[in-house]
């Protein structure tokens, strides 16, 4: 830079100062009329700066005293990014890269400048070049305007092809298999039943919170002996999940989902038992027309349209304004609309969907607020036993003590080991 700018000792008159400031800030009429006279007056009353950084600080202090109109006039006089005329020699050399700038680069920058002026009327985009060419500034300019990046005028580096060893170390997309020992315990798969388990497809529920249709039909209902038989069943469009035909044998059904088999007239709702396992709960055709959905989000979308997002990934627009996060809505998937909603408040019956108390049911006693931590909800079951769990694990299923869905055997009451033993003894005594 020392070859392109005068030494500090030469700052004795207005001509030399104009040359230096034009190199630092680009030549413009406001620079000559506003900045140069004020800086020269400041230098005449004090010693010369020891470095160009000090000179830039002096210029900044001078500009601080300007009015907003003067600051706007100074910025508007700055050459636009991509303009060839009106640049200092140093900037022209930096932005051209030592050669001529391609025509398509100049046209792209001119187009971006026009867009910027439309988005921000009265302003212009200014950036610190820092040795970059005009083509290298384009991606930054596009990011400011929220446009996708282009490679106009940029020589893309040629990447050599990978050898076999490097190719073996690269990823190959998402995993498509699942070891049986790594499968969720809620599936209740045998440890010695094979090496692999069916991996759920991407869908409305997470892997560890879902049950693939293969496991449901083959391992739980025993309607198929092999995975191939399950495929034959679902390809005949005999299985519906929440009223929609599913032909993917690994479709992930989850909590509160309704699985229907029209040919046999059977309907099931996926719920948890008190040991955290998926239980196959048979329901009536009337109950098979709706499901309960926990509200995860309540926000405004495009054009200010309100919507809620539920635990199974549904987005429902224009909900009742009274519906809040953690509430539960009763969704009729035959009519495809919300027919009722249940508030999250003390006194309502809930089911726990996570943690050590998964599958337990009871009534909300109270909620503890923990700033910076997890909110805790205390629940009391029908045996007056109180337990606590995180708010995220709570799923409201009814108002008061009456649930809006039928519950599996046990009604969500967890017994101790001794109580389970006594219960088994009574059952055996009755059978005898």
What confidence tens digit (pLDDT) does each residue in 137-183 have?
A: 778 777 777 777 665 555 544 446 656 665 556 667 888 899 999 99
> 371 pLDDT band (50/70/90 cuts)?
confident
Q: Which of 46-50, 54-58, 299-303, 308-312 is the least confident region? A: 46-50
| pLDDT (average), residues 59-84 | 74
CB 260 within 8 A of CB 217: no
User: 140: which residues sit within 8 A by CB, 6+ positions away?
Assistant: 127
Q: Which of 26-30, 176-180, 303-307 is the least confident region? A: 26-30
Report pLDDT for 156: 46
| pLDDT (average), residues 87-95 | 64
Report pLDDT for 95: 61
Kindly tell me if the per-residue pLDDT of 336 is higher than 80.
yes
> 11 pLDDT band (50/70/90 cuts)?
low
Domain boundaries defined on the chain: 8-145, 178-285, 344-432
Place of tokens 């009391």: 380
Query: Distance from first CA to last CA of the chain, Å, rounded?
Result: 102
Please state which CATH class domain 8-145 belongs to: mainly alpha
Bridge-based pairing state of the strands 315-317 and 306-310:
antiparallel
Report pLDDT for 150: 67
| pLDDT (average), residues 223-231 | 95
Kindly tell me if the per-residue pLDDT of 102 is higher than 50.
yes
Q: Which residue has the higher pLDDT, 429 or 154?
A: 429
Kindly tell me if the per-residue pLDDT of 31 is higher than 80.
no
Report pLDDT for 157: 46
| pLDDT (average), residues 387-409 | 94
Q: Which of 111-115, 230-234, 335-339 is the least confident region? A: 111-115
Report pLDDT for 8: 64
> 84 pLDDT band (50/70/90 cuts)?
low
pLDDT above 90 as % of the chain: 54
> 249 pLDDT band (50/70/90 cuts)?
very high
Q: What is the mean pLDDT of the chain?
A: 85
> 130 pLDDT band (50/70/90 cuts)?
low
Q: Which CATH number fits domain 178-285: 3.30.470.20, 3.20.20.70, 3.40.50.2000, 3.10.290.10?
A: 3.10.290.10
User: 378: which residues sit within 8 A by CB, 6+ positions away?
Assistant: 364, 365, 366, 367, 368, 386, 387, 388
**Fold for domain 344-432?**
SH3 type barrels. (2.30.30)
Distance of CA 2 to the CA centre of its chain: 50
| pLDDT (average), residues 86-111 | 70
Task: Quickly list DSSP for 22-51.
Answer: HHHH---HHIIIIIHHHHHHHHHTSPPPSS
Q: Which of 78-87, 117-126, 401-410 is the least confident region? A: 78-87
User: 233: which residues sit within 8 A by CB, 6+ positions away?
Assistant: 217, 223, 224, 239
Q: What is the largest CA-CA distance in the chain?
A: 116
Q: Which residue has the higher pLDDT, 12 or 252?
A: 252
| pLDDT (average), residues 134-138 | 77
DSSP structure class, residue 68: H
| pLDDT (average), residues 247-251 | 96
Kindly tell me if the per-residue pLDDT of 322 is higher than 70.
yes
- Most confident segment among 15-19, 54-58, 162-166: 54-58
Residue 257 backbone dihedrals phi, psi, to 5 degrees: -70, 145
Bridge-based pairing state of the strands 196-197 and 337-342:
unpaired
Kindly tell me if the per-residue pLDDT of 4 is higher than 70.
no
- Using DSSP, state whether 264 is helix, strand or coil: coil
Place of tokens 């384009």: 138
């Amino acid at each position: 830079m020392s070859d392109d700018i005068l030494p500090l000792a030469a700052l004795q008159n207005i001509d030399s100062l104009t040359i230096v400031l034009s190199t630092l800030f680009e030549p413009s009429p406001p620079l000559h009329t506003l900045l140069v006279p004020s800086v020269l007056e400041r230098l005449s009353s004090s010693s010369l700066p020891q470095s160009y950084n000090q000179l830039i600080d002096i210029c900044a202090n001078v500009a601080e005293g300007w009015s907003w109109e003067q600051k706007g006039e100074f910025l508007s006089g700055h050459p636009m990014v991509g303009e060839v005329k009106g640049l200092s020699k140093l900037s022209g050399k930096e932005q051209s890269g030592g050669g001529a700038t391609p025509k398509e680069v100049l046209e792209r920058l001119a187009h971006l400048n026009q867009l910027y002026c439309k988005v921000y009327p009265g302003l212009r985009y200014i950036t610190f070049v820092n040795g970059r060419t005009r083509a290298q500034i384009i991606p930054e300019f596009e990011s400011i305007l929220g446009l996708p990046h282009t490679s106009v005028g940029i020589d893309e580096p040629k990447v050599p092809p990978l050898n076999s060893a490097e190719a073996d170390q690269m990823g190959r997309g998402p995993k498509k298999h699942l070891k049986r020992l790594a499968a969720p315990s809620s599936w209740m798969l045998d440890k010695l039943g094979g090496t692999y388990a069916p991996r759920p497809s991407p869908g409305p529920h997470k892997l560890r919170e879902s049950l693939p249709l293969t496991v449901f039909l083959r391992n739980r209902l025993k309607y198929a002996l092999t995975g191939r038989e399950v495929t034959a069943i679902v390809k005949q469009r005999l299985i519906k999940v929440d009223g929609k035909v599913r032909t993917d044998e690994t479709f992930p059904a989850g909590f509160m989902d309704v699985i229907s088999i029209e040919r046999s007239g059977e309907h099931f709702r996926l719920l948890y038992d008190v040991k955290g396992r998926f239980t196959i709960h048979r329901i009536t055709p009337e109950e098979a027309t709706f499901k309960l959905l926990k509200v995860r989000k309540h926000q405004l979308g495009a054009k200010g349209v309100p919507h809620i997002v539920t635990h199974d990934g549904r987005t429902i627009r224009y909900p009742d304004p009274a519906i809040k996060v953690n509430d539960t809505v009763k969704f009729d998937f035959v009519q495809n609309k919300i027919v009722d909603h249940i508030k999250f408040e003390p006194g309502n019956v809930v089911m726990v969907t996570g943690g050590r108390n998964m599958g337990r049911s009871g009534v909300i006693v109270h909620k503890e607020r923990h700033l910076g931590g997890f909110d805790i909800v205390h629940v009391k079951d029908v045996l007056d036993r109180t337990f606590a769990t995180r708010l995220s694990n709570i799923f409201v299923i009814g108002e008061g003590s009456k649930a809006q869905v039928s519950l599996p055997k046990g009604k969500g009451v967890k017994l101790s080991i001794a109580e389970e033993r006594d219960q088994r003894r009574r059952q055996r005594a009755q059978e005898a």
